[in-house]
Amino acid sequence: MNKTWWKESVVYQIYPRSFSDSNGDGIGDINGIIEKLDYLKELGINVIWLSPVYQSPNDDNGYDISDYQKIMDEFGTMEDWERLLAEMHKRGLKLIMDLVVNHSSDEHAWFKESRKSKDNPYRDYYIWRPGKNGAEPNNWESVFSGSAWEYDEATEEYYLHVFSKKQPDLNWENPKLREEVYRMMKFWLDKGIDGFRMDVINFISKVPGLPDAENPHNQRYAWGGDYFMDGPRIHEFMNEMNQNVLSQYDVMTVGEMPGVTTEEAALYTDGERRELNMVFQFEHVDLDTGPGGKWDLKPLELKDLKATFTKWQKGLEGKGWNSLYLNNHDQPRMVSRFGNDKEYRVESAKMLATFLHMMQGTPYVYQGEEIGMTNVRFETIEEYEDIETLNMYREKVMDGGEDLAQVMNSVYVKGRDNARTPIQWDDSENAGFTEGNPWLKVNPNYKEINAKQAMEDPESIFHFYRRLIQLRKENEIIVYGNYDLLLEEHPHIYAYSRTLGGEKLLVMLNFSDERPVFEMPEEMEFSDHELMISNYEVHAEESIQTVELKPYEARVYRLK
Ligand code: TEU
Ligand code: CA
């Protein structure tokens, strides 16, 4: 068991555009974050992952970077950012920055050069190909709809963009590009940051030849992920980055990796191999997705959630390290998705937090999660801002003639703007997020759900998170203990144990609004037990052999 600070940390993700606006232009900014550091300190987190704050034309809200070494004007200046880092370090908070190097913006100086001519020194910083029979070089589909290729008049070739056409993919085969990225990483590390979250980092190695994707349903374009997810040179690139850059600093790294398997993740996060500390896997956020992809809704089954989490807990045990998350800026709000955001919003938010924070790995809290913020339903598509949502709408409704109500329903359930509405700080106009016009409308439920209310109420979700985070700090077993699933077949109860040396924890969670009665397996019979945390009142004399749980009830016991 190798102990390190990043295993013992709890990370809080800030999506700066929606966090806190200090100057009334309706857009969250760096000074707004500084104003809220004491709030975050009180919550107890010790690392902040800051989504991109670099210069960007904002086609994808900062995930399209036009200058990696400048701060976006709307967010402030480099001096503001340096003050943020200093104010964080003063409070014992660490900062990890978003590293977006699968692609840049098409407005980046490299791309402006690259597109000029075929012999431009920057040509090979990106992936250019001639067309095939008057069409795109292959049939790959962009994550944001349509072809993953864009034709460029100047040189009569196409460039690859797995995301939007304003996000051309960088060519990692080119050692000069890799050197530039490493130099840029050092620029930030030398300023004193504490690590990186790496955007779709397992996409950077493409299979040479860029073969056509399989297309069983004969669609116009098809998902080409087989040819760039965990591609042929990915481990070599990760290892090179580690040798050249990361190993020279005491930092933490987390690679965002759609499609990653437990076997691959064990390699990426095996300390001996010197690649990354942990990865964000996607299996649990794909369980409610049908065969038609993200917008094809499918009900979530508890048995699938058990199987997935158990696979990841056991798959990395003693080999690598898990990151634990239930939502982020790309995913719906967790209480709306996995809990019940109506009758049992507070209970189910606390239950889900217990579920995640009692597992082995490093937990991530996404802004607003700690006050139980929910999904939003805007009436018309015009009120949405997210490029993924808007492109999909254009393709399906305007071009494809699909049913409007059905598409809007998918947006309500899965759209990324669910997670991007401004943080609800109080019950004043615009939820105290801004004194101006927010860039994305505030969720109308801010009068009941807001941070001010949550701080004042000792029974709030916020204070429950505070206790969970505190428990993790005080109990090594919560960080390092081994996980084992119990009651595998139960349709409503998710129960598991954690074991470290002679110590044991028992976690019991009700994922339903019913009141199931169940028997704990005999191996959980201990002479004594102590309740560590729960989201309902529990009587000390209650048995833990035959148990009845209330709707969305969560209990954690220490067994002795
Ligand atoms: O996301 C990568 C990714 O593949 C998905 O999560 C995807 O963006 C989408 O949400 C699927 O529905 C990362 C960033 O987190 C995301 O915000 C960016 O848009 C994307 O990369 C491109 O940089
Ligand atoms: Ca602002």
Ligand number with the minimum distance to the CA of 254 = 1
Query: How many whole angstroms from 34 Cα to the centroid of ligand 2?
Result: 12
* Ligand 1 nearest atom to the CA of residue 64, by list position: 23
Q: How far apart are CA 201 and CA 192, in angstroms?
A: 22
Query: How many whole angstroms from 84 Cα to the centroid of ligand 2?
Result: 15
Amino acid at 289: T
Which residues are annotated as catalytic? 199, 256
* Ligand 1 nearest atom to the CA of residue 328, by list position: 15
Residue owning the nearest CA to atom 17 of ligand 1:
330
Those residues whose beta carbon sits under 5 angstroms from the ion ligand 2 are 21, 23, 25, 27, 29
Per-residue pLDDT, 153: 97
Residue owning the nearest CA to atom 5 of ligand 1:
330
Q: Which mutation among 63, 108, 145, 330 tests ligand 1's pocket best, with the greatest number of atoms within 8 A of CB?
A: 330
* Ligand 1 nearest atom to the CA of residue 60, by list position: 19
Query: How many whole angstroms from 17 Cα to the centroid of ligand 1?
Result: 16
Strand partners, 11: 47, 364
Strand partners, 151: 158
* Ligand 1 nearest atom to the CA of residue 331, by list position: 10
Nearest C-alpha neighbor of 83 from the set 45, 24, 37:
37
Per-residue pLDDT, 67: 99
Sign, CA torsion 539/544/548/554: positive
| pTM (2 d.p.) | 0.98
Strand bridging mode 362-366 / 482-486 = unpaired
Please say whether the beta carbons of 266 and 317 come within 8 A: no
Ligand number with the minimum distance to the CA of 258 = 1
Ligand number with the minimum distance to the CA of 332 = 1
Nearest C-alpha neighbor of 195 from the set 391, 47, 386:
47
Query: How many whole angstroms from 64 Cα to the centroid of ligand 2?
Result: 19
**DSSP for 203-246, written as a single string:** GS-PPTT-PPPP-TT--SSB--GGGTTT-TTHHHHHHHHHHHTG
Ligand number with the minimum distance to the CA of 438 = 2
Domains and CATH numbers, the chain: 11-103+175-465 (3.20.20.80), 109-160 (3.90.400.10), 482-559 (2.60.40.1180)
Quote the tokens at residue 261: 């398997």
Q: Which mutation among 15, 58, 199 tests ligand 1's pocket best, with the greatest number of atoms within 8 A of CB?
A: 199
Query: How many whole angstroms from 52 Cα to the centroid of ligand 1?
Result: 12
Residue owning the nearest CA to atom 2 of ligand 1:
200
* Ligand 1 nearest atom to the CA of residue 203, by list position: 4
Low-confidence ranges of the chain (pLDDT < 50): none
Residues with CB under 6 A from ligand 1: 60, 63, 100, 143, 163, 199-200, 256, 258, 294, 329-330, 388, 416
Q: How far apart are CA 28 and CA 25, in angstroms?
A: 8
Strand partners, 509: 494, 554
Query: How many whole angstroms from 18 Cα to the centroid of ligand 2?
Result: 10
Please say whether the beta carbons of 360 and 482 come within 8 A: yes
Q: How far apart are CA 170 and CA 294, in angstroms?
A: 25
| Residue with the two structure tokens 């990796």 | 257
Please say whether the beta carbons of 90 and 41 come within 8 A: no
Per-residue pLDDT, 340: 98
- Determine the straight-line distance between the first and last CA of the chain, rounded to whole angstroms: 23
Measured from the Cβ of residue 514, the count of other Cβ atoms closer than 10 Å reads 13
Alpha helices in 121-208 (DSSP H): 175-190
